[in-house]
Every structure is written in C-alpha cells, then in structure tokens.
Amino acid sequence: MTLSPTRDSEVTPGGPAAARIGLEARAASSTPVTDREWWRTAAIFQVYVRSFADGNGDGIGDLAGVRSRLGYLASLGIDAIWFTPWYRSPLADGGYDVEDYRAIHPDFGTVAEAEALISEAAALGIRTIVDVVPNHVSDQHAWFREALASEPGSDARARFWFRDGKGPNGDLPPGNWPSSFSGSTWTRTMNPDGTPGQWYLHLFTPEQPDLNWDHPDVRREHEDVLRFWFDRGVAGVRIDSAALVAKDPELPEIDGEYAAGQHPNLDRDDLHEIYRGWRTIAEDYSGVLVGEIWLADLKRFALYLRPDEIHMAFNFDFMSRPWGADGFRAAITETLAAHEPVGAPATWVLSNHDVTRPVTRFGRADSAFAFDAKRFGTPSDLVVGARRARAAAMLVAALPGALYVYQGDELGLPEVEDIPLDRLEDPMHFRSGGVDPGRDGCRVPIPWTNDAANAGFSPDGTDAAPWLPQPADWARYSVTAQQDDPTSTLTLYRRMLELRRGDDLQHGAFAWQDDTSDVIAFRRGALLHLTNCGTTNVPLPDDADVVLASGPLTDHTLPADTSVWLAVHSV
Ligand code: NOJ
Ligand code: CA
C-alpha cells in the first residue's frame, strides 16, 4: 500500500473524527448484562490476586484490595475480570495447585468476600471469570491425602495415576513423559511404614498430582465446582491446561510423532466430550468457558471451539511471533481463518502471568515468546520495547474478537529481571536448575501511587514489604504517576478501550488494506488501523483523520514502531 501525504490532522484522541465514524464509545458503562454474546468482543482484564492490590496491609494482594480498586477497573473500560486461582492452596505453583475449590485462600479472603466482589463488580458492569484447573490438584487436596493413605489399587488411588516403579525394586520411574516444568513427571511415594511405595504422575510439579479423568468422581466433582461458582454469580470459567487433561490409560512412553488425537497426553479426542458436558452446565447459567489451549495446529485448536464446546480460547500463536509485519499478518490471517468455520471469536493476548512482559519482550533481539528460550541476562532495549508494546496493544485492540489484558500491561510495566534469587518462588525457575528465571518477573506487585514505601500496593500508612520485592523505581509506573499524563500508557489504554466500545471496533467488518509492506494496515468499518513495523516514517493518507496514536506522529507521518487509528472520510 502507498500511503499518500496527509492533510493537517490533529492528534486529538477521540475528537470530532472519532464521533463522526461511530468510533465514539457507547455510554461509558459496560455491556448490558442482558447481552448473552458479550464475550465475543469483550475486553477481559486478568487479575493475579496476590500481586494486584493489598487491602489489609500484610504485603499480599487480596480480595479486599481488588474491591478497593474496582473503580479503577471500571474507569479502564473493561468488560470482565479473569481471576487466576484464588482458592485455598499451598501456592507451590502460584495457586494452580488447588487444595479446596470451595474455599478462598485465607491470605486473600473468604467466599463471602468473593461473593461481595462478584456482585460489586457486576454493579459496575464488570463480569467475573474464575480459573478451574482440571488437570491436577494440590498434593494437599483431600483426595490426594486419602490416596496416599490408601492401598495400591484402591479406588482413592484410581482418581490419580499411581503406578508401580520399574526395575527389580520399583526404583525406576514408570514412564518417560517430559514435564512442562522440566524434570521428571513421576514422584515416588512413601508407604505408611516408611518403605518406598508407588509412584504418581504429575505433568507439572510433584505438588500437582494429575487427576484421572476416566474416574467418575473426577468428572462429577468438577461439574459441581463449576456450579458452585456459577451459583455465586460468576460469568465464566477459564479452563487451565485444557488440552492436557485426558490421558491414554496405558500411559505409553512418548515416542515420535502422533496422528491427530493419538498423543498420550495432549489434545486427545476424549477431551471434547468432557467439555461438552461443561458447556451444558455453562449454558444453564449463560456462562462462558475460556480454554487455555497451547496447540500448534490451529485446526485442532479450533475443534475445541465448536458451538457445543468451549466458547473461546487464548490465542498464543500471536504471542509466539516476533515483532514484524509478516509474522503478525500471518498470525492474524491464520487465526481468523481457523475461527471462522466454528463461529467462535478469536482472542488476542499480548501477555499473561506466565510470560515475559511485552515491554521487555519487544525490546529484545528475538521478541517472540517461547518458554524454553527464557534465560537470565537476555538484553532488552526498554525504550524500543515500550514503543512497540504500545503499538502492539493498539494492534490487538483493533482486531475482531475478544481482548485479554494482563494487569500492569496497561501501566507499561517491564519484566522485573533482577529479583534477588533468594526471593524467587516460581517452580519453573527451580526445576530448570536455575537456568530459566521463571515467571516471578511479571508477577511483581502493582505500583499504585508514587509516595508510599511499597508504591501504594498496601493501604495508606502501611509499609509492609510486598511479597515479591518491587524495583526501586517502580513508583514511576504507578497509576498516580500516569493518570493525568496524556502521553502515558495508562491514558493510551483508557482511550483505546473506550474507543474499542464504539461500533466500528465492536462490529466493523475486517478487511486487509495491504499484504506486503512493513505497515500492517486493515479496516474495521470506517476505522483504518496502521502499525509501522518498519524502520522509516511512512506518510499518512490524506483522506483520513487521526483518532488515536500509540506515539507522537511527526510531519503527518507514522514513525517506526507506532500504531494509529484513522477515521476514513470515504466510507
Ligand atoms: C497454566 C497456568 O497459566 C500456569 O500458571 C500454571 O503453572 C500451569 N497451567 C499449571 O497449572
Ligand atoms: Ca493482604
């Protein structure tokens, strides 16, 4: 595409240009609660409770803290909050080791407080999504304790994957499956008399024993848990590790390539029937299911999104692409094409609590996200990274489908890469033998103000040390520091999410304007989106007015690493 020179257009976010083309937001309040299809275009904000806001001054985020910040979330313009697991848990894996789904972690609050939070959020038009982890439970879960106290071959053990070890004394693990968290997937138990016993399977840490989904209790229990939370008013459930849940009961060694659906523990065909059951329950409550599905094959991925299965799933394909027009365009085209036949919305995800913050990632020589590539000391140019993260935020916000925003990305937080080693908690770090820095760097407590010891993470007057240390300059990213600054990342996100509620970005037809240059260009109705992934300024078209830009525009051109939304005259 040739972008012709522009006429004078003011960079006045949401000025007359926005109003003229229907970009102007509908009433600042939320999606009407009667809109059953709200999730198709929603902006969903991810709250990692432990690190969001501390309400009682002990340095640990909690539900009281979230309740005190609901006004902030409403002003951000989101439709829903997804809470990472908030249940009782030993926190061996940040709460993805659930001890009791019907109890809130005592550090976070109580079920009564969760109910209050859900209804207070709803009153502000914000729906709640909770996280359910069907692949495994905590080793402190009542079922696992019961299994350990029971005999080999007992029904209590059959809810998990207990096996005798190999070798003459059973000293060798029963299998060779690799763990998502490095190391073995088998841990040996101790018999009550102190002798070595059977082994059990855990795809993640030993504190997260895998459940056997062929056991009827496992199904029943999860269906009950869904109802428990839907009964408390939640609007949706995120399904953790959704494609790992079903196993080949023979637990055969993993070896070579597998035909679709044949892998011993990934993307097995019997999963679909499990999630069809979940869908029926969700439908009873008009609830929504969101799948965490890491699959390279987008056609297989889309099968989970058929109309009687999961409503939507995280799109990790986009996140795995490095900064650049060709890769982004391919991700967008392939994602939209994969979703179209099943009628599910695409989702757009720049980050979450498992991955490197976009500001740091986009400042690196290799800016694609990959778990196995994480290493200490990978250099990043945070100035470039911040510019690209802002541009990428506008890019994904302009695409058709649902948008996920991880807490702190709206403040442009970088990954914290210098947390003292003795403060790291993530098992991914420890199980990698210390090679992988782990995920603590994107979980550092949020800075709210610039005048308190803990950057306002804890309430006024309390100077508790946050559970993970904040960098010395953390307050400069705080909400207080950014909220009145028209150039801040927070202001950009607010305006972006507000404009995203207008007709064009909710319903406007998507059409590529270009498929070759360094400039990603597409229309959503009367809005023209451009992202300059090249290195030189590109003239803006003269038949369009600037509505919002991710950075300064110079001489009516779009600089490198910048996105712009334009109101097109001829619609
Ligand atoms: C995916 C979650 O996002 C991650 O944080 C967790 O460690 C694994 N699933 C295991 O539950
Ligand atoms: Ca607290």
pLDDT, one tens digit per residue, over 86-103 is 999 999 999 999 999 999
Q: How far apart are CA 90 and CA 88, in angstroms?
A: 7
More confident residue, 251 or 2: 251
| Residue nearest ligand 1's atom 5 by CA | 354
292 labelled catalytic: yes
SS (H, E, C) 250-313: CCCCCCCCCCCCCCCCCCCCCHHHHHHHHHHHHHHCCCEEEECCCCCCHHHHHHCCCCCCCCEE
Q: What DSSP designation does 356 have?
A: -
| Rounded percentage of the chain residues whose pLDDT exceeds 70 | 94
Q: How far apart are CA 21 and CA 25, in angstroms?
A: 11
Q: How far apart are CA 173 and CA 373, in angstroms?
A: 27
Q: How far apart are CA 38 and CA 155, in angstroms?
A: 42
Ligand 1 atom nearest residue 133's Cα: 11
Check 139, 240, 317, 354 and give the catalytic one. Answer: 240
The answer, yes or no, to whether any atom of ligand 1 lies below 6 A from the CB of 93, is: yes
Task: Tell me if the domain spanning 41-132+223-497 has CATH number 3.20.20.80.
Answer: yes
162-168: long-range pairs with CB below 8 Å, 24+: 162/189, 162/198, 162/199, 162/200, 163/198, 163/199, 163/200, 163/201, 163/251, 164/198, 164/199, 165/198, 165/199
| Rounded percentage of the chain residues whose pLDDT exceeds 90 | 90
Task: Using CB atoms within 10 Å of the CB of residue 549, give its burial: 0 to 12 exposed, 13 to 18 middle, 19+ buried.
Answer: buried
What is the Å distance from ligand 2's center to 51 Cα? 10
Q: What is the pLDDT of residue 452?
A: 81
Ligand 1 atom nearest residue 97's Cα: 11
Q: What is the pLDDT of residue 18?
A: 57
Q: Which amino acid is at 518?
A: D
Check 93, 292, 425, 545 and give the catalytic one. Answer: 292
Q: Which ligand is nearest to the CA of 135?
A: 1
Q: Which ligand is nearest to the CA of 210?
A: 1
Ligand 1 atom nearest residue 241's Cα: 9
Say what the pTM is: 0.95
Q: What is the pLDDT of residue 6?
A: 31
| Residue nearest ligand 1's atom 2 by CA | 240
Q: What is the mean pLDDT of residues 463-470?
A: 95
Q: What is the pLDDT of residue 34?
A: 53
Name, in order, each residue with C-beta under 8 angstroms of 319's C-beta and a sequence gap of 6 or more.
Answer: 349, 350, 351, 355, 369
Q: Which CATH architecture has domain 142-201?
A: Alpha-Beta Complex (3.90)
273 labelled catalytic: no
Which of the listed residues 240, 292, 351 should we mutate to test ligand 1's pocket, taking the one with most ligand atoms within 8 A of CB? 240
Q: What is the pLDDT of residue 23?
A: 53
Q: Where are the domains of the chain?
A: 41-132+223-497, 142-201
Backbone angles phi, psi at 558, to 5 degrees: -100, 110
The predicted-structure confidence for 213-267, as pLDDT tens digits, reads as follows 999 999 999 999 999 999 999 999 999 999 999 999 999 999 989 999 999 999 9
The predicted-structure confidence for 472-506, as pLDDT tens digits, reads as follows 999 999 999 999 999 999 999 999 999 999 999 99
Q: What is the pLDDT of residue 475?
A: 97
Q: What is the pLDDT of residue 19?
A: 54
Instruction: Report the Cα–Cα distance between both ends of the chain, in Å, rounded.
Output: 18
Q: Looking at the DSSP assignment, which residues form a beta bridge with residue 347?
A: 402
Q: Do the bridges between strand 162-163 and strand 196-201 make them parallel or antiparallel, or are there none, so unpaired?
A: antiparallel
The answer, yes or no, to whether any atom of ligand 1 lies below 6 A from the CB of 133, is: yes
Q: How far apart are CA 443 and CA 32, in angstroms?
A: 32
pLDDT over 70 (residue 25)? no
